[in-house]
Chain A
Amino acid sequence: MQELLSNSTYFAVVLTLICFQIGIWFKKKTGWAVATPLLTATIIIIAALLIFDIPYESYKEGAEIISFFLTPATVCLAIPLYRQIELLKKYPKAIFGGIIAGVLTTMVSIFVMSLAFGLNHQQYVTLLPKSITTAIGMGISEKMGGIVTITVVSISITGILGNVIAESFLKFLKIEEPIAKGLAIGTASHALGTTKAMEMGEVEGAMSSLSIVVTGILTVLAISVFAPLI
């Protein structure tokens, strides 16, 4: 059984798609903000892999066809961005001001907390790229001498958290402008948060996608200033 499932071409794909549907059903049933389909599906899949004693590597190989679409899907985020380009022309100050403030907050907060925890340079640069999309974050972490797998974990925690709390937290802060919502989500929690922003609305989704790109580029620049500090 274990061998059959580990070597199967379709097991990982079927498991992932079924668990995602369970996640959607569970979210509908409970209505909990924290029950995002991504989180539910991830927990069930990890549990299933542990129960059937299937190594992550074989799951990853099988599920590759699904994550393959991440790059084209990210490219397609240009479409909501294009549809909303008028907003960008109308509020450039708000958009760039918000994102720059966000990137600086990332750098300063991670720097201060790393000092407080007494982290070494390697651990510090591992965490610096945590709010940007995995693909850029991994590249930066590697270049700066960080621990790439932990950077990915940190990016995932950030993304899941952003995805889960976005709706209620922004309501709590009385952030009601769709543009501001999208910027906050994208700058804090990259593409994973953006999936939430897309559900909230076209403007939110477009602004969140825009933030991924701008945050990614600004972070590359900001890190070269902040990395030598610890």
Chain B
Amino acid sequence: MKYIKQLCMIAAVCLVAEAMEYFIPLPVAASIYGLLIMLVLLLTKVIKLEMVEDVADFLSGNMAIMFIPPTVGIMACVEEMKAMLVPLFVISIVSTILIMAVTGKVSQFIIRKTKREEK
């Protein structure tokens, strides 16, 4: 029963998020509205952590499995890919590496600066 209640709570948030996606004309997915709604509900204590915790940890802890089907989808668009194969791979790979390095370095720099100032 505990799990059913938790799942119901999460599904209800998804339902509201789906409605927001439908009515708000932005290219933003339901899952992002849902994440924001859930966060606001937790912060305002409308939902307590223990009301969703177990099912939520199970779902977010097993996300890798859920990505398998869309990733396998790569095999279905081989033809469209051929036209821009080299730029597609080079740009995807190089920019990912750059973004990871820049974001990591910048935030680490600011964190360490903040820590030093505290001391």
Q: Is the CB of A59 within 8 A of B72?
A: yes
Residues of B within 8 A of A205 (CB): 60
Residues of A within 8 A of B69 (CB): 12, 16, 59-60, 63-64, 66-67
A56 to B20, CA, bound (A): 31
A136 within 8 A of B: yes
B contact patch SS: helix
Q: Is the CB of B97 within 8 A of A165?
A: yes
Known interface pairs A113-B91, A127-B88, A136-B27. Does A97 touch B107 (Cβ–Cβ under 8 Å)?
yes
A85 CB to nearest chain B CB (Å): 7
Binary CB contact string for chain A from 139 to 154 against chain B (1 if under 8 A, 0 otherwise): 1101100010110111
Q: Which of B10, B11, B68, B103 contacts A20 (CB 8 A)?
A: B68
B21 CB to nearest chain A CB (Å): 9
Residues of A within 8 A of B56 (CB): 76, 79
The size of the chain A interface, using a CB distance under 8 A, is 110
A153 to B77, CA, bound (A): 8
A33 to B75, CA, bound (A): 24
The size of the chain B interface, using a CB distance under 8 A, is 75
Known interface pairs A101-B106, A149-B80, A188-B96. Does A74 touch B31 (Cβ–Cβ under 8 Å)?
yes
Q: Which 8 A-B pairs have the closest CB atoms?
A: A98-B107, A135-B29, A184-B104, A139-B27, A102-B103, A78-B38, A75-B34, A74-B31
A-side interface residues toward B, CB under 8 Å?
12, 16-17, 19-20, 36-38, 41-42, 45-46, 49-50, 56-57, 59-60, 63-64, 66-67, 69-83, 85, 91, 93-95, 97-99, 101-102, 105-106, 109-110, 113-114, 117, 119, 123, 127, 130-131, 133-136, 139-140, 142-143, 147, 149-150, 152-154, 156-162, 165-166, 169-170, 173, 175-177, 179-181, 183-185, 187-189, 191-192, 194-195, 198, 205, 209, 211-213, 216-217, 220
